Amino acid sequence: MSATLRVLPLGGVGEIGKNMTVVEYDGRMVIVDCGLRFPTAEMMGIDLVLPDFTYVRENIEKLEAIVITHGHEDHLGALPWVIRDLGQDKIPVVYSGQLTIAMARSKLDEHKLRDVPLEVLPIGDTVDAGPFEIERIHLTHSIPDSSGIALKTPLGTILFTGDYKFDQTPVGGAPADMARLAELGKEGVLLLCGDSTNVDRAGVSDSESIVGPHLDRVFARCPARIVVTCFASNIHRVQQVVHAAEKNGRKVALVGRSMRKNVNIGRSLGHIDIPEGMLVTPREIDQFADEKIVIISTGSQGEPLSALRRMAYRDHPQVELKSGDTVVFSATPIPGNERAVNETIDRLYHIGCEVVTARDAPIHASGHGYAEEVKMMINLTRPKYVMPVHGDYKRMLIHSQLAQAVGIPASNIFRTENGLPLEIDAEGARFGKAVQAGMIFVDGVDIGDVSDVALRDRRMLSGDGIFIIVATISEQDGSSVVPPEVLARGVPFLEGNSAFIGELREAVEDSLDGAAEQQITEVDVLQSHLHDDLAKFIYDRLKRRPMVLPVVVEV
Amino acid sequence: MSATLRVLPLGGVGEIGKNMTVVEYDGRMVIVDCGLRFPTAEMMGIDLVLPDFTYVRENIEKLEAIVITHGHEDHLGALPWVIRDLGQDKIPVVYSGQLTIAMARSKLDEHKLRDVPLEVLPIGDTVDAGPFEIERIHLTHSIPDSSGIALKTPLGTILFTGDYKFDQTPVGGAPADMARLAELGKEGVLLLCGDSTNVDRAGVSDSESIVGPHLDRVFARCPARIVVTCFASNIHRVQQVVHAAEKNGRKVALVGRSMRKNVNIGRSLGHIDIPEGMLVTPREIDQFADEKIVIISTGSQGEPLSALRRMAYRDHPQVELKSGDTVVFSATPIPGNERAVNETIDRLYHIGCEVVTARDAPIHASGHGYAEEVKMMINLTRPKYVMPVHGDYKRMLIHSQLAQAVGIPASNIFRTENGLPLEIDAEGARFGKAVQAGMIFVDGVDIGDVSDVALRDRRMLSGDGIFIIVATISEQDGSSVVPPEVLARGVPFLEGNSAFIGELREAVEDSLDGAAEQQITEVDVLQSHLHDDLAKFIYDRLKRRPMVLPVVVEV
């Protein structure tokens, strides 16, 4: 009983995305969620951003289970990368709901990780993982099969909400299980780790089911083709688009790889019902009259290679949009994607399409509860301690204020940072000693850490390009054996400027002469000498600082 | 009288920014505005984007005058670059208002262009430029000294609104000159080229003067330091911040180079009044109690090197923010800047600052008129033809719909593209033959065109880095003289992987052997052979496509 409970977020606090939390008790460990972030523009060429899970690697023998709240990338997406790194044999079991497990399996398959024990933990069941008893609690969110995770320990219960809203009329499923939350609250929740995404919005979020009738109305006044774009994982949104299409006597085509994949998984598990004969393939679209078809497409965030973006730039192999068609954005841009979304919309206007967004009609509902729902979660579960998660500092701060507003003492609210554990024992709760945390990058097939010099080099290369100078000198006396080679890449406006390359070559010769006078013979020193001379010459002439890479070859 | 009037936008239609329009009549030419855009993330390392002004260069002997509506970068910023390219001696005269001319002079001085005739054209005066009579009409906008430009020709008057709103209670100046607009309307406006920026907003924009009292109220409840950030050119906003500071017994410090520069110019021309003793230097800030100071700072758009961004990252030499300080964003993010602004705000929350944005209080007013104002402009000026400008396709379309709503026939509304001139003669109006248009880039001190291969190279370099392979071979038999050199830059995760570099070196040797077998001796062919072999080897191993640059040196 004297053991300490440690709750250690490795991602998702003080930031949005890559959610991952380690819970330890009595020398054993459970991980809740394993998500990723998408890189920002400054992370040049980086494919994905993962939480730094060094702590997990170093404590892997403690691992009892990984539990996933739901199937979104920011909660599930890092799983294959983490497992590949840790080794499949080190993972005792991954628990989640049926859809989430199916999505996890599909991801792990792509990484040829076929030996990971994935187990469906049905709502209402519990399972033991070392000193933890794990239970999933049904909640509502913008993907089916979302759940909170209760971890019962001898010290008390920790409840992770995952992402949630209290949707009283969700589509294709039950409302959030308020009764079970209340029961947990009565039994006593020691710590609530709650979603902060929409704490800054007053009131209560719209129900998902308001969207359908509005889509229906929008469709009713469309004279030609309709394209609806939404998140591919938002199966219930797709369901509502299908219903609205059916009501308007239109067939439905799914366009975009992830859209087809998610709807297929969703259909096979009964989360979406598409009536017989409603679905046509992208190739068949042209066989139907314009007013008889709805295309459901990826690309709601303006993603460069997405189906909708390609349609907007008249570059999609199956779908050619034209004046009079309507494109419906049943999603809002995630911060940072506004420009890409605006560009897509403007191309659509250029084609002559009508564009309908969530500003024009209530055709989108957020998957995250607003302030009143966050307060309700706390009131239902009556936790002793609160730890805001899934949010930047601003949202974690507002979450804390909401918790205080419903009676949680400020001293029982813990805003932490990635890597900073909360430690709870019979005496109380306090922050423990910070461990390594931060981000690691996926680049191609490899993962590695941010301190790598490569990113700095990429920024330099992208900003100003590179000059490569190859000087071939005699091993005997250091004299130039053949004229130096000068190459440039990513340096603009050189084409009509062969004079500059000539002068640069002369500068190389001058620098080599200078080195000879100073009796510089060692290759490293000579390269450094060349670098300094040429970087200065280039800056003086171009007012830019491209990378300058001298290669000295001794023959 | 039979001459044709040509109105040729070279920038600013179908896009936001880099506004520039050429007007020709009877073989003579006037240019209205000369603006730039800021590059997007994909334009790697590019400093500025200018309109392609090839047409102007090729017709420079026709030029009578350049007229600038107001001092914002998207209307004035390209001027030094364009003049530098065309030659100072080719510019007969640049007309604008006093403040705008002062700002133009400051820009041209930085480029050492001191021989350009810059002339203030006062409101109410007219000046002849070849067949054109030029008049400035006072309008209101988020920078003082904004004006519409009327160009009278024998065929009729063209009115360029520039950027405007109908502010009935502007700060520090008169309302927009509706009387003169109405007079022009009575006399007959042939063509109205109107601002489309806010056509998608219903109703009427807020007056600038509502901002002051709200700033006053926000300041009144701030317990410690206040930092207000706004656009440096928004002199009247700065004026209101100064007034609110004065009311609250606080001194004012200006932080950020452009803030100090613009306020200095504004003060010297009487556009802003800062009472004696109110202004303290950034170095003096620490001499005042926290509740006795307001810092007015650049950085409202989250710009990387701006003063506020540096404060947020605790990296500003003079201003150290702390818990309890308040940062007031008296500006909204321009689309595309949301992420940078959000990051700045979150760092400020992390420090413990209070952050107040235009969502929390009406502390910002847009400088562009909304739909009702755009309709009013058309009703006042009663143009025969309308050409929406300053907007993307969506806004130009909505502008057209507004024009139709106030009675302009659809056939008299011309939505054009950059490079596509509208031609008007006694018979009517129609599009003419398109000329070269688009964007050119400023990179360092040079300007050049987008087709330059350098940008593609930069994208490749930034995405995956570069491998450089130097093979030194014998001129006689093509055999390797010294072992090949292999260098990588911007390729991550190589550090602990010297094995890979070793293997790559072997692959170079293998490739050289293969070339020898195929009796490839010419350097170009050999380089291409090496490139293909090594690119394949690298992709197979890393699943990335870095640039592969083989250099073959014959000795």
> Is B45 marked within a binding site?
yes
Pairing of strands A48-51, A439-443: antiparallel
Burial (Cβ within 10 Å: 0-12, 13-18, ≥19) of residue A260: middle
Give the DSSP letter string of A452-505: -HHHHHHHHHHHH-EEEEEEEE-TTT--EEEEEEEEEES-TT-TT-HHHHHHHH
B271 is in an annotated binding site: no
- Touching check for A443 and chain B: CB below 8 Å? yes
Contact B461 A466 (CB under 8 A): yes
CB pairs under 8 A between A and B: 185
Amino acid identity of residue B170, one-letter, is P
Interface touch B338/A342, C-beta < 8 Å:
no
**B464 flagged as catalytic:** no
- Domain positions in chain B: 5-203+366-448, 209-356, 452-554
Query: What is the predicted pLDDT for the residue at B506?
Result: 92
Q: Please give the Cα distance from A419 to A51 (Å, whole number).
A: 10
Residue A86: how many other CB atoms lie within 10 Å:
15
CA angle B260, B265, B266 (to 5 degrees): 95
Q: Angle A73-A443-A436 (CA atoms, 0-180°, nearest 5)?
A: 75
What percent of chain B clears pLDDT 90, i.e. is strictly above it? 86
CATH of A452-554, one of 3.40.630.10, 3.10.20.580, 3.40.50.2300, 3.30.1490.20: 3.10.20.580
pLDDT tens string for chain A (555 positions)?
Answer: 458 999 999 999 999 999 999 999 999 999 999 999 998 888 888 899 999 999 999 999 999 999 999 999 999 999 999 999 999 999 999 999 999 999 999 999 999 999 999 999 999 999 999 999 999 999 999 999 999 999 999 999 999 999 999 999 999 889 999 999 999 999 999 999 999 999 999 999 999 999 999 999 999 999 999 999 999 999 999 999 999 999 999 999 999 999 999 999 999 999 999 999 999 999 999 999 999 999 999 999 999 899 999 999 999 999 999 999 999 999 999 888 999 999 999 999 999 999 999 999 999 999 999 999 999 999 999 999 999 999 999 999 999 999 999 999 999 999 999 999 999 999 999 999 999 999 999 988 788 876 677 888 998 899 899 999 999 998 888 888 899 999 999 988 777 677 888 999 999 999 999 998 898 888 999 999 999 999 999 999 888 899 999 999 998
Residue B224, chain A, CB below 8 Å: the answer is: no
Predicted local distance difference test score (pLDDT) of residue A28: 97
How far apart, in whole angstroms, are the C-alpha atoms of residue B447 and residue B39?
14
Q: Which of B482, B485, B555 sits opposite A482 (nearest CB)?
A: B555
Residues of A in contact with B338 (CB under 8 A): 335-336, 338
Predicted structure pTM score: 0.90
Residues of A in contact with B452 (CB under 8 A): 492-493, 495
Neighbours of B161 (CB within 10 A): 26
Interface touch B393/A355, C-beta < 8 Å: no
Alpha helical stretches, state H, A153-196: 178-187
Q: Where are the beta strands (DSSP E) in A374-427?
A: 385-389, 422-425
Cα torsion A14, A150, A208, A400 to 10°: value is -40
3-state per-residue secondary structure call for B208-239? HHHHHHHHHHHHHCCCCCEEEECCCCCHHHHH
B443: amino acid identity, one letter? D
State the average pLDDT for chain B: 95
Name the token pair of A94.
């991954």
Distance from CA of B530 to the nearest CA of A (A): 17
Q: Which candidate from A452, A492, A544 shows the least CB-CB separation from B492?
A: A452
Q: Which of A243, A271, A316, A368 is catalytic?
A: A368
B366 is annotated as contributing to ligand binding = yes
Residue B542 DSSP label: H
Residue A553, classed as helix, strand or coil, is: strand
Nearest to B228 by CA among B246, B252, B264: B252
Does A280 contact chain B (CB < 8 Å)? Answer: no
A466 at the B interface (CB within 8 A)? yes
How far apart are alpha carbons A351 and A301 in whole angstroms? 19
Q: Is A163 annotated as a binding residue?
A: yes
Smallest CA-to-CA distance from A328 within A211, A243, A210 is with: A211
Q: B48: number of CA atoms within 13 Å, CB side?
A: 21
As to burial, measured by CB atoms within 10 angstroms (0-12 exposed, 13-18 middle, 19+ buried), residue B82 is buried
Min Cα separation B268/chain A (Å): 33
**How many angstroms away from the CA of B267 is the closest CA of chain A?**
33
Which residues contact residue A101 at a Cβ distance below 8 angstroms, ignoring those fewer than 6 apart?
A94, A118, A119, A120
Query: Per residue in A145-183, is it b (16+ CB within 10 Å) or e — as a string?
Result: bbbbbbbbbebbbbbbbbbbbbbeebbbbeebbbebbee
Give the helix/strand (H/E) hosting B552. strand B547-554
Q: Which residues touch A129 (CB under 8 Å, ≥6 apart)?
A: A28, A30, A64, A65, A92, A93
Catalytic residue among A33, A167, A195, A464: A195
Q: Does B361 touch chain A (CB under 8 A)?
A: no
- C-alpha distances out from residue B278 to B253, B275, B295, Å: 8, 6, 12
* Topology, domain B209-356: Rossmann fold (3.40.50)
With both helix axes pointing from N to C terminus, report the angle between A178-187 and A371-381 in degrees, rounded to the nearest 10.
50
- The whole-angstrom distance between A458's CA and the closest CA on chain B is 5
Question: Does B163 carry a binding-site annotation?
Answer: yes
Query: Chain A within 8 Å of B545 (Cβ-Cβ)?
Result: no
Q: Min CA distance, B482 vs chain A (Å)?
A: 7
Sign of CA dihedral B451, B455, B460, B461: positive
Question: How many CB atoms lie under 10 A from the CB of residue A320?
Answer: 14
Contacts of A44 in chain B (CB under 8 A): 462-463
Spatial separation of the C-alpha atoms in residues B145 and A153, rounded to whole Å? 70
Distance from CA of A555 to the nearest CA of B (A): 7
For A482, which of B350, B461, B553 is closest by C-beta distance? B553
| B287 has a chain A CB within 8 A of its CB | no
For A424-461, b/e burial (b = at least 16 CB within 10 A) is: beeeebeeeeebebebbbbbbeebbeeebebbebbbbb
Question: What is the number of other CB atoms lying within 10 angstroms of the CB of residue A28?
Answer: 19
Q: Hey, of A393, A481, A531, A552, which one would you mutate to test binding to chain B, going by the most B CBs within 10 A of its CB?
A: A393
Is A368 noted as a catalytic residue in this protein?
yes
Q: What is the pLDDT of residue A2?
A: 59
Q: Give the A window 180-219 contacts with B, CB below 8 Å.
A: none
B45 touches chain A (CB under 8 A): yes
DSSP structure string for A69-115: S-SSHHHHTTHHHHHHHH-GGG---EEE-HHHHHHHHHHHHHTT---
CB contact under 8 A, A543 and B441: no
Q: Is A287 on the interface with B (CB under 8 A)?
A: no
Q: Rounded to whole angstroms, how far apart are CA atoms A427 and B502?
A: 58
Q: A549 and B487: CB-CB below 8 Å?
A: yes
Residue A307: exposure state from Cβ atoms within 10 A (0-12, 13-18, ≥19): buried
The one catalytic residue in B243, B271, B316, B368 is B368
How many residues are present in chain B? Answer: 555
> Does position B1 have pLDDT exceeding 70, yes or no?
no
Which chain A positions have a beta carbon within 8 Å of B549's beta carbon?
A: 468, 487, 489
pLDDT band with cut points at 50, 70 and 90 for residue B450: low
Instruction: Indicate the residue of A45, A468, A485 with minimum beta-carbon distance to B462.
Output: A45
pLDDT in tens, B360-418: 999 999 999 999 999 999 999 999 999 999 999 999 999 999 999 999 999 999 999 99
Cα B150 to Cα B187: distance, rounded to the nearest angstrom:
12
Q: How far is CA A175 from the centre of its chain?
A: 26
Tokens 């398959």 locate to A109
Eight-class DSSP state of A292: G
pLDDT at B451: 61
Contacts of A490 in chain B (CB under 8 A): 45, 454-455, 457-458, 461
A211: helix, strand or coil: helix
Residue B546, sorted as left (phi over 0), alpha (psi -120 to 50) or beta, turns out to be beta
Contact B463 A335 (CB under 8 A): no
The residue among A126, A141, A155 whose CA lies nearest residue A65 is A126
Edge-first strand listing for the sheet containing B189-195 = B126-129, B132-138, B147-153, B156-160, B189-195, B383-389
To the question of whether residue A70 is assigned a binding role by annotation, the answer is: yes
Q: Tell me the fold of A5-203+366-448.
A: Metallo-beta-lactamase; Chain A (3.60.15)
Amino acid at A216: D
Q: What end-to-end distance do the CA atoms of chain A give, in Å?
A: 73
Nearest to B544 among A444, A491, A542 (CB): A444
Q: Is residue B551 pLDDT above 80, yes or no? A: yes
Contact between A368 and A205 under an 8 Å Cβ cutoff? The reply is yes
Which pLDDT tens digit goes with each residue over B181-207?
Answer: 999 999 999 999 999 999 999 999 999
Distance between CA B74 and CA B329 in Å, rounded?
22
Give DSSP secondary structure letters for B498-510.
HHHHHHHHHHHHH
Q: How many CB atoms lie within 10 A of CB A34?
A: 29
* Whole-number Å distance between alpha carbons of B530 and B545: 15
Q: Which of B33, B52, B167, B195 is catalytic?
A: B195
A 10 A CB-CB count for B527 gives: 18
pLDDT at A450: 61
Contact B443 A492 (CB under 8 A): yes
Annotated binding residue at A390? yes
State the SS3 of A305-356.
Answer: CCHHHHHHCCCCCCCCCCCCCEEEECCCCCCCCHHHHHHHHHHHHHHCCEEE
**Interval A422-436: pLDDT, tens:** 999 999 999 999 999
> B457 contacts in A (CB within 8 Å)?
465, 489-490
Q: Is residue B540 classed as helix, strand or coil in its secondary structure?
A: helix
Please name the amino acid found at residue A269.
L
Q: For the CA atoms of A252, A253, A259, A262, what is the dihedral angle to 10 degrees?
A: 60
Stretch (H or E) spanning B244: helix B235-247
Contact B79, B108 (CB under 8 A): yes
**Which of helix, strand or coil describes residue B455?**
helix
User: Helices B523-542 and B498-517, interaxial angle, to 10°?
Assistant: 140
Question: B481 and chain A: CB distance < 8 Å anywhere?
Answer: yes
- What band does B456 get if pLDDT is binned at 50, 70 and 90? confident
Residues of chain B in contact with residue A349, where contact means CB-CB under 8 angstroms, are 392-394, 397
